[in-house]
Amino acid sequence: MKAFLPIAIVVAALAAVPLLVHSNVVLNFLVVALMIALAGQGWNILGGYGGQYSFGHAAFFGTGAYVTAILQVHYGVNAWIGFVAGIAAGAAVGGVIGTLAFRASLRSSYFALVTLAFAEVLRILASVTPVTGAGVGLLVKLDVRAQSFQFQSRAIFYLVILALVAVSLVIAQLLERSRFGVWLIAVRENEDAAMALGVDAFAVKLGAMVLSAAVTAAAGCFYVQYFLFVDSGIAYGGWISIEALLTPIIGGVGTVFGALVGALVVKSLGEGAKLVAGDVPGLGLMIYGAVLILVIRFAPRGLVGALVDARGHLARRFMAPRSRVREVVGG
């Protein structure tokens, strides 16, 4: 339980934010940042811990978003049931893509390009299929009730997405402490060596893919319930694949808090730049690119890794004089 204490502290601190901040603008920013952190944590499970870099996590985000929207709009299914169904559908898509890619032994850039291709194919299909609203999209009926997963207060949405992020943090922590997580990291470091030791690399990578897809799909489901609208450009657009990939890399790939830290930092810088420079087209991508370059240059292990290294450096720096004092006194 001690390993989960940092998660409890961080989540408790974030949960206290609505008690101190009542601005809808700030809460909206935090909701979106946490939603991106959730999608980023989904990518981190596969790319960070598993070493399978995907460029197409929009396939899972969009599937989750569309399934929950379609069930509500066309079939009158309860939003909470639709939310669960969206997560399951995203996981299923992850299973299909993973099976095809890993059976073909695709790795590295080949795997990344295949995931990107699947996301683009789904985007094109969604833009012409009537059930998805084709090019118009789907608008979920406004029904501000808890039973409909719609709330009057943004603070409640904030607590819901925070709970989802907390679950994703626990999943990441469990990965670091479980046998499955050890197998996954072994496959990441050297797949051939892991297989020689008896690890079923296909099953491990497929499991990570399904779990990753489910977490990312949850972010898509939440998007629909928060904004009550989805179209092909939003659901399967490259924006979510880019942000899901960049936030854990900037925050610290293969770490529990990397995606959360990366999302908060990048989104804060983006919003700060907008306040100064206005709504300049492409400004967000420029910010992401600049931060990514700086992180790769000065903190290759991400911001979380840099903090861990700095703490270790300070600990050694303060412990060294004490050790010398003990040697002198003992001598």
pLDDT in tens, 125-181: 999 999 999 989 999 999 999 999 999 999 999 999 999 999 999 999 999 999 999
What one-character DSSP code corresponds to residue 136? T
What one-character DSSP code corresponds to residue 54? -
**Distance between CA 252 and CA 266 in Å, rounded?**
13
CATH of the domain at 12: 1.10.3470
**Distance between CA 177 and CA 197 in Å, rounded?**
19
When pLDDT is cut at 50, 70 and 90, the band that residue 328 belongs to is low
Neighbouring C-beta atoms of residue 262, cutoff 10 Å: 32
How many folded domains does the chain comprise?
1
Tell me the mean pLDDT in the region 65-78.
97
pLDDT tens, 237-294? 999 999 999 999 999 999 999 999 999 998 898 888 777 777 777 777 788 788 888 8
Q: Is residue 328 part of a domain?
A: no
Neighbouring C-beta atoms of residue 124, cutoff 10 Å: 12
Q: Is residue 325 part of a domain?
A: no
Residue whose C-alpha is closest to residue 168's, from 79, 256, 228, 239: 256
When pLDDT is cut at 50, 70 and 90, the band that residue 187 belongs to is very high
| Domain housing 258 | 2-298
* Predicted TM-score of the model (pTM): 0.93
Q: Is residue 184 part of a domain?
A: yes
- Percentage of residues of the chain with pLDDT beyond 90: 77
- Alpha helix ranges (H) inside the chain: 5-15, 17-20, 24-43, 58-75, 79-103, 108-128, 154-177, 179-189, 191-196, 201-227, 232-235, 238-251, 258-277, 283-298, 302-330
